[in-house]
């Protein structure tokens, strides 16, 4: 590595001021993010309840796919702030049957606007 002398002796105090000013600028420009847990879930229901469950999943989550066989299975994503309310609503509209299964939980960082 080659270092060229710029003609100005900064000294310890000058270097501290230069580096702290640069660090303050970098922090000021850095985005602020928050860590949340994102859940990939599935819920199974009978064809009798499919209308209610479909409405809840499409309005309140990010729907991934729907599989139709002897029962209907919805795959979707939601986050930690919404999962309890969605679970309760699905329970109430699925014949009071707890058929929500969390397939995966992973951390995600989202940008916070301030």
Among 35, 43, 50, which residue's Cα sits nearest to residue 86?
43
How far is residue 64's CA from residue 82's CA, in Å, rounded to a whole number?
Answer: 17
Whether pTM exceeds 0.75: no
Q: What tens digit of pLDDT does each residue of 15-67 get?
A: 788 888 888 888 888 888 889 999 999 999 999 999 999 999 999 999 999 99
The average confidence (pLDDT) of the chain is 88
Backbone angles phi, psi at 55, to 5 degrees: -65, -45
Determine how many CB atoms are found less than 10 A away from the CB of residue 5: 6
The domains found in the chain, sorted by start residue, are: 33-111 (3.30.70.120)
How far is residue 61's CA from residue 71's CA, in Å, rounded to a whole number?
Answer: 20
């Amino acid at each position: 590595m080659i270092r060229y002398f710029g003609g100005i002796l900064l000294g310890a105090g000058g270097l501290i001021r230069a580096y702290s000013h640069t660090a303050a600028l970098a922090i000021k420009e850095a985005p602020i993010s928050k860590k949340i847990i994102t859940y990939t879930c599935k819920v199974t229901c009978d064809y009798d309840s499919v209308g209610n469950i479909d409405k809840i999943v499409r309005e309140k989550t990010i729907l991934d796919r729907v599989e139709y066989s002897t029962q209907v299975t919805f795959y979707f994503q939601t986050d930690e702030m919404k999962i309890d309310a969605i679970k309760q609503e699905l329970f109430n509209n699925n014949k009071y049957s707890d058929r929500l299964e969390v397939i995966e939980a992973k951390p995600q960082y989202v940008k916070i606007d301030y």
